[in-house]
Structure 1
Amino acid sequence: MASDSDESFGADSDYKRPQTPTRRPPARTAKQKQPVRWTRASACNYHESSDDELDGSATGADSAAADQARSLDARSLKRKRVTSNNQDVRRSKRTLRSAGSPRTPPAHNRNTSVKKRTPTSNRPVRTVAVRPQSLCSLAGDWATLPYLVWRTIFDEIASPLRQLSAREDEGAQNEARHTLLSSARSSKILAEPALTALYQTPPLSLGVESALRLLRTLRAPPESTLFNYRPKVEGLRIEVDEILNRKKIGTYLSLNELVQYMPRLKHIDLYTALDAKPWRQLDQSVRWKYSPELFNALQSIPPMGNPDLKDEGLTFLPLESWSWSSRLIPQTWSKDMIREIHSTASFQSLRKITFINFQLPSVTSKEADPLVIAAMDEPHIRQVTSSILQLPKLEHLVLEASTVANGSLLEQLPRNLKHFELINCWDVEAEHMVDFLRDRGHSLKTIVLNHCQSLSLQFLPILASACPNLEEIHVNTKYFRHHEFYNDDQPFWDVFLEPDQIPTWPTKLRCIDMQHLQFSDHRAARNFCKSLESSAERLLDLRSLAIDIKLKCDLDRRTKLRNYWTPRLQAIFKRPVVVPTSMTVALAKQFEKQAVIEPGRRKSSKACSTPMRRSIRLAEIVSSPDVTQDEASGTSGREVSRRSQVRKEARRLGNESYDADGESDDELSNEVNADPKKNTPVQRLCNVVEIQLDNSRVVEEKFGMEHFFDGSGSESEEEDPDWDGQDLEFD
């Protein structure tokens, strides 16, 4: 079996397993000495299992040993026994030994010199056939599961390889690759579904070496491989700097040739590490560029990816997704080159298009006149919009780290978009989003707005009316610095959300994920939470709710809002954990057994009544739909005392004024005095409910303990040689 560090794509890769010594070498078998006494046990141990027996089961070895023992039984009985009674007893015990027991070496005379054998690596190792009962196997009849069931399981395991987050999270990518390879090597039943999931988007984590190995595997004739790997590849994600810009054995990877062996390729993602977070190297260029040969290869694919069938006619690849990076575009290209490529047959079937690092010329210009700037930028915006309009089946548009994404571009986008993403586009404002959603938001199902420095949440009041079919909304207002040594990651908007701007939520929402919401007014934050509460009965499809609010106000108000709205939203949306009645009775009996008083101890009324009260309380908790299992088990005495102190403090401060302008805080006091879990609307269908409200600062990177280790970042004795591994205070 190959090691985990080996990058392999299946049983037919270039990796050669070391040849193990044969189980039955003829030369050594002829020289083997027969046992002094032939018994059933010695005959069985003298028999050596072959490779076929090990690959199958031990049934053949057992039957052969039994036949040989029966044939030699008469011969063993005719031998003369010149021994004492004690020796006869010991010999009879050896004769009755089970046939599967290990062989006992013959006893040598002490005066006889025995030549010791020195172990060598080339010497074959004698093994005993293993019985099927001792093999480790999975519970149940898993070998009879259909192929599609295993495909579904392995597709879930391989999901990190297909997501865009695999660019950054190499740990999840390597773990998925290791799991799929181990499963494929463990059983012939799992080999094809595991390799199919692996090859669907092959991981090229080792750079050009793994890409060349993939090319050699696909280049091999399908008749010489275990499976036909060519039609299994559907996605290709290539890091340009590590794969296409580097040589291996004096050669570069030919992307044009690699594409020829992928007849079912649908997704191509050519990217660089410079285009990832924190997007501070947008001006740096790379050597590899798009070539006309690549796009010609996409239009001339041989049937079934077999170059020998070129005479039968060439076809094109119907791509479904493609990503453009401005740093990979040659300077010799004309302005309309992207639009001409989009008009080809391979790009007419595109459903997703990504534009990365497309900047307007006014970014580097020193012109201050708005009219001159608009005249300078308008041709570039028109080029991008015309290339987008050339795609009739486009449904998913992604604009990343591009100043070309502004209000003028949003007004010219197609109306049939279903998924729209803006990532680190700092020229898009809330007014632009309002106009875009009112005009082109009726068909949208997913909206992703991450790290847009000028975009606030003032478009939320028209969200329900403008986007009635919206199913997912993702917002992340954490911003990144444009320069490494300047603190220029502050938001460009003035007000994040006005107190009188009440958000509205579409009824088809399935996921609400909003992180790092930077509220500066507690009334706007309270109205935001109230909007979720008032819409709870209509959000019947909602299954995931994650809200992270960063509230900049005084400690008392923030504490009151957190103590009231966090448990209230949990009680409204969190799906309760229903424990079966049989399990409830079993837990109650277990508590009663644990509470039984030991003999000799003094019985008290408190001890005798404890088991009954605990079992009754457990049954009430489980049977009550208003209290979840987590909430019931999470309330401690310290929490109860803390809540009572908060209520007393709220009563004391209920009639006082907090603001300098004389504003009263009676509403907050009423919220704290009231029980947050009473009079709540019932939704309770969300599997994920994460509510966080604090005043932590939104920074680009948070430092933890792993950032303050000396050396490699692991706690070992080499980093602190004076420590003997014991902590007297802790122990």
Structure 2
Amino acid sequence: MAITTKRKRGTVSYKEPSSAEDLSESSEYEHTPRRKRPAPSRRSARHQANDDDSSRQTTPERSPALEPSRKKHKESRTRRHRKVSYKDISSDEEEDPDADFEVPEKHVRTTQRRVKASAVPSPRPQRREKARERGRSKQKLVIGRIRKPNQAPGAAPEAISIPSDGHKPAWQFLPYHILLQIFVYASHPLHDENVKPTTSIPWLVQVARLCSTFTKPALTALYRNPPIFAMRQTRRDLVHHLIQPPSGVHKDYQVMPKRLTLDATQMSTLTDPTHSVADLAALVKSLTTLREIDIFDPIDRPPFRGRLRRARRWVYPDELFAALRETELRLRSWRWNSMFCQRGPLWMKSIHGDQAFQSLRELTLVKYHPEPSREDEDDDEGNSEPTMEELIGSALAVLPNLRSLAFETCGIVRGRLLPLLPTNLISLSIVNCGELLSDALSSFLTTHGAHLEELILHHNQALDLSFLVDLKQSCPKLEVLRMDTTYYSSLVMSSDNEPLYESLLGENEVPTWPATLRTLDMQYLRKWDSTAASNFFQSLIDSAEELPDLQDLTIIAMVDTDWRQRAEFRRKWSATFQAVFARKWEPPNPHLASLKAYRLWKEKQVSSQIQPPQVEEEEKVDSFVEGVTEELAKPQAAEESDSDAPLVSRRKRQDEQWGSTRLRSRAKANASYDEELEDSESEQDVEDVEKVSFVQGRCHTVIFRIDNFRPREEIYAEADFLDAEPSGDDEWNGNDEANDEGGYAW
């Protein structure tokens, strides 16, 4: 048998002991000696020397230094069996090249503190620890620590000192109606669009407890539209508090509410599943000053898609309308949803005949579609059954005071229904009605638009702008025109949100605008060429003299042209709209900041009239350009007072004065190019402005944007692409800190 020279290696276990095993082994180590496992043969001399040193220090003999402290052995044992942390190291923290895993910081700090306090020297060498501390970044590996922002936050603006006499107004003696307006303005809104409570609710409660004079106006602002569904846990208590207030209260809470906003998907749990209907009827009976009731469904908002799973259907209870008949309420606003109505339009017509609905001024119809069985039938003279459009028209005809009408996601809004609408409408809103065409709307405005003051057309996929050609003649009293051409797909995975018209506006169609127009909001206009867009924009410029009341102008459009032509198009029309409609900004009068400031200003005027004004030798230059000091501005004002160059170019010239004569300054090389570019742009702007025949100059809001932006349901901004935690790495300034020896520059 051949003799082999290969040495046998001892069995090595890579099993990671648990915490219980650590404690058991450490306890055995304290009382019974343990034999050191022989080191493997394939180890360097440095590791073997370290093992020899550690074996000499950890002798089984009991020494006086090891007996009294039991925690020291646990510390050394814990240092030997480290807990593995699988935490990912971020990009701004340097990875330790000597260790695959890192010890949690809390454990490392505790261990190092106790080892330093101990008299027993550490068995491990300090060379690797020093190298690790030297190469590691100063930022600690702490989960959830606050990162430094990418940019240092700007300095807080200096507070402007306002002269004051020190007299505090007596807020507690203000009249009730003034305090009510203040609290309503300061607390709006009480809940967001998702019926989630805002901080205004607890603020109003605190203000009501602050002073006896504030109690009634603060509670009135809170209960004017009681946030029933915004308060999840105390909803039942709030409803019962309004139905039956506690005895002995000084305020009558039942006369405060004016409007009820109720979520139909949670009406079954208004108070409890058993008494919700009865409590709703009792709530309506108790509120004697109620004027508006809005029972809505959150799914009816954009993107106007149904639920993925079927929810419990809620319907209008008969007890609600019976309670309205028993009261003396006169409603002004109501919302009908076909999904909550078990009966047809004839029942709706009978409800409109009640005394509570005869005073309606605003009505909203949601999800009313034509009957599918009658859709494919031809119009026959012998067919005596009324259509859905005719039934809805007859139901609206019994409301004598109706002035505002809104349709949301209704398929009946088309040529058959529009002629049946009331002729005395002041406001008309049509939202997400895909059957509405421009020809039908133009015919309706010709016959029914004489009293129309507000027209809102949002998300109507088949509606173009052809009706604007006769808008001035058909709607002479129109003040507000809003139109959003953003469309939504019927399904999440489908892509049927493109416009259904061939062209938004024809090349030969020129819009006309009523002289009473105050607000014009046209967003995401697209699917037209540059000629039609120019006709649209030029019609507004030509009508500027006839639009004295226009104050809010918003136009966001896309033009299908080359990017160079689009840039020229944007530059030309943006400068023109700003020059024609934008109001020149005038700073507020600083002398009206307080009564004392106004008094001092008047005294100064009187003294200036008595004594002739003396010219001061040193006058401060009113410069808003950062980096230009007063000393540099004085010779600059003397030399370049007649210059048309912008202030930025002047600042560059000041920065060049300190440079050496040996090398040409880079700023001086770029100054001439920048000035030529700015001069050419200013000349072109002047030429465009000179073509304008009239400057209206009364719009406080002018938003004009032309780009190739495609509207989407979810519009992402810059904040959506940033990291959740901003990086803490700053740019290296060229100076190394003294305590960071051996580190890196990045």
- The answer to whether the aligner puts 1:319 opposite 2:331 as a matched pair is yes
Paired with 2:402 and 2:711, the residues of 1 have a C-alpha distance of 35
The corresponding residue for 1:219 is 243
* Equivalent residue number for residue 610 of structure 1: 636
Task: Name the structure 2 match of 1:407.
Answer: 415
1:555 Cα deviation after fit: 1.1
Partner AA of 2:449 in structure 1: G
Q: Which residue of 2 aligns with 1:525?
A: 533
Q: Which residue of 1 aligns with 2:706?
A: 693
Residues 1:434 and 1:611: Cα distance change in structure 2 (over 3 Å):
same
Q: Is the 8 A contact 1:544 1:687 kept in 2?
A: yes
Answer yes or no: is the 8 Å Cα contact 1:519–1:525 preserved in 2: no
Does residue 357 of the first structure (1) align with residue 367 of the second (2)?
A: yes
The one-letter amino acid of 2:422's match is: P
**Larger CA deviation: 243-252 vs 459-468:** 243-252
- Displacement of 1:217 in angstroms is 1.9
Query: Alignment partner of 1:676: what SS?
Result: helix
Alignment of 1:331-346 (within 5 A): 333-346=343-356
Question: 2:298 — aligned with what?
Answer: 273
Amino acid at match of 2:315: K
2:610 aligned residue? none
Of 234-243 and 210-219, more deviation after overlay is shown by 210-219
Using the TM superposition, name which of 193-202 and 438-447 deviates more.
193-202
Please list every run of 5 or more consecutive structure 2 residues that lacks an aligned counterpart in the other structure.
1-165, 592-614, 648-670, 734-745
Match of 2:317 in 1: 291
Aligned counterpart for 2:730 among listed residues 708, 711, 727:
727
CA contact (8 A) 2:525 2:556 kept: yes
Could you say which residue in structure 1 is the equivalent of 2:120? none
What CA distance in whole angstroms lies between the structure 2 residues aligned with 1:334 and 1:458?
A: 35
**Do 1:222 and 1:228's aligned partners in 2 also have CA atoms closer than 8 Å?**
no
* TM-score (normalizing by structure 1): 0.64
CA distance in 2, matches of 1:181, 1:355: 36
Q: 2:207 aligns with which of 173, 183, 198?
A: 183
The one-letter code sitting in structure 2 at the alignment partner of 1:262 is L
Which residue pairs with 1:589 in the alignment? 620
Tell me the distance in 1 between the aligned counterparts of 2:265 and 2:710.
35
Give CA-to-partner distance per residue, 1:250-286, whole Å, 9 cap, x none: 7536211111110011100001122222111189664
Question: 1:468–1:506: 8 Å Cα contact kept in structure 2?
Answer: yes
Q: 1:246 to 1:178 in 2, by over 3 A?
A: closer
SS in structure 1 opposite 2:417?
helix
In the other structure, the counterpart of 1:684 is 697
Contact 2:236–2:270, Cα closer than 8 Å, also in 1: no
1:300 corresponds to which of 321, 326, 330:
326
d(CA) in 2 for partners of 1:486 and 1:477? 18
Deviations 1:665-724 (CA, angstroms, capped at 9, x unpaired):
xxxxxx8782336645121111111111111112222123555688xxxx359xxxxx6x
User: Residue 470 of structure 2 is aligned with which of 462, 471, 477?
Assistant: 462
Q: Aligned ranges for residues 375-386 of structure 1 at < 5 Å?
A: 379-386=387-394
Q: Is the 8 A contact 1:519 1:549 kept in 2?
A: no
Measured against aligned partners, the alpha-carbon deviations of 1:303-329 in whole angstroms (never above 9, x if no partner) come to xxxxxxxxxxxxx21000100111111
Deviations 1:635-686 (A, max 9, x none): x9998765567799xxxxxxxxxxxxxxxxxxxxxx8782336645121111
Q: 1:222-270 deviations in whole A, cap 9, x for unaligned?
A: 7522421111101000001134346649753621111111001110000
SS in 1 for 2:189: helix
**Partner of 2:276 in structure 1?**
252
Structure 2 match to 1:328: 340
Deviations 1:194-219 (A, max 9, x none): 22122111123435644322222223
Say whether the 8 Å CA contact 1:208–1:242 is kept in structure 2: no
Q: Is residue 330–residue 356 contact of structure 2 (8 Å, CA) maintained in 1?
A: yes
> Does the C-alpha gap of structure 1 residues 334 and 439 become closer, same or farther in structure 2, counting only changes over 3 Å?
closer
Distance 1:560 1:588 in 2: 43
User: Structure 2: how far apart are the matches of 1:533 and 1:142?
Assistant: 49
Could you tell me which of 144, 154, 157 is aligned with 2:183? 154
Query: What whole-Å deviation, never above 9, does each CA across 1:327-374 have from its counterpart, x for those lacking one?
Result: 1112xx355100000011110000011100112223xx69766559x9
Could you tell me whether the CA contact under 8 Å between 1:512 and 1:544 is conserved in 2? yes
Q: State how far apart, in whole Å, the 2-side matches of 1:437 and 1:271 are.
A: 29
1:351 aligned partner, one-letter code:
R
Within the alignment, does 1:233 sit opposite 2:243 as a pair? no
- In structure 1, list runs of 5 or more residues that go unmatched: 1-136, 302-315, 599-605, 622-635, 649-670, 718-722
Q: Matches of 1:338 and 1:638 in 2, distance apart?
A: 73
Moved more, 262-271 or 691-700: 691-700
Q: Which secondary structure state, in structure 2, belongs to the residue aligned with residue 438 of structure 1? A: helix
> 2:441, 2:697 → 1: CA distance?
31
1:567–1:677: 8 Å Cα contact kept in structure 2? no
Offset at 1:489?
A: 0.5
Give the aligned residue type for 2:423.
R
Question: In the TM superposition, what whole-angstrom CA distance separates every residue of 1:78-101 from its partner, at most 9, and x where no partner exists?
Answer: xxxxxxxxxxxxxxxxxxxxxxxx
2:522 counterpart SS class: strand
Name the SS of the counterpart of 2:547 in structure 1. Answer: coil
**Conserved? CA contact 1:510–1:542, under 8 Å:** yes
Does the residue aligned with 1:433 lie in a helix, a strand or coil?
A: helix
C-alpha separation in 1, matches of 2:306 and 2:436:
21
Query: Cα distance 1:179–1:530, how it changes in 2: closer, same or farther (>3 A)?
Result: farther
| 1:570 alignment partner in structure 2 | 578
Q: Show the counterpart of 1:703.
A: 716
In structure 1, distance between residues paired with 2:721 and 2:271: 37
Residues 545-572 of structure 1 show CA distances to partners (whole Å, capped at 9, x for unaligned) of 1111122211122111210111221121
Aligned-residue RMSD, C-alpha: 3.9
Instruction: Look up the match of 1:675.
Output: 688
Residue 479 of structure 2 contacts residue 516 of structure 2 at CA under 8 Å; is this kept in 1? yes
- 2:504 is paired with a residue whose SS is coil
Residue 424 (structure 2) aligns with: 416
Deviations along 1:140-193, whole A, 9 cap, x unmatched?
3434332222222233335535xxxx662657x614435433433443333322
Provide the C-alpha distance between the structure 2 equivalents of 1:709 and 1:597, rounded to a whole number of angstroms.
40
CA positional deviation for 1:405: 1.1
Query: Is the aligned partner of 1:145 residue 2:155?
Result: no
What is the number of equivalent residue pairs in this alignment?
Answer: 518
Aligned residue type for 1:319: L
Cα deviation, 1:19-50, whole Å, max 9, x if unaligned, reads xxxxxxxxxxxxxxxxxxxxxxxxxxxxxxxx
In the superposition, relative to structure 1, how do residues 297 and 683 fare at CA in structure 2: closer, same or farther (>3 Å)?
A: same
Tell me the amino acid that sits aligned with residue 244 of structure 1: S
Question: For residue 274 of structure 1, what is the amino acid of its counterpart?
Answer: I
- After superposition, the Cα gap between the structure-2 partners of 1:375 and 1:676, relative to the gap in structure 1 and judged at 3 Å, is farther
TM-score of the aligned structures, taking structure 2 as reference length:
0.63
Alpha carbons 1:597, 1:607 under 8 Å: kept: yes
Task: Show the 5 A alignment for 1:56-71.
Answer: none
- Matched residue of 2:183: which SS? helix
Measured in 2, the distance between the counterparts of 1:461 and 1:559 equals 28
Q: C-alpha deviations, 1:473-512, integer Å up to 9, x for none?
A: 1101000111111100011111100122111111111111
Q: Which AA in structure 2 matches 1:280?
A: R
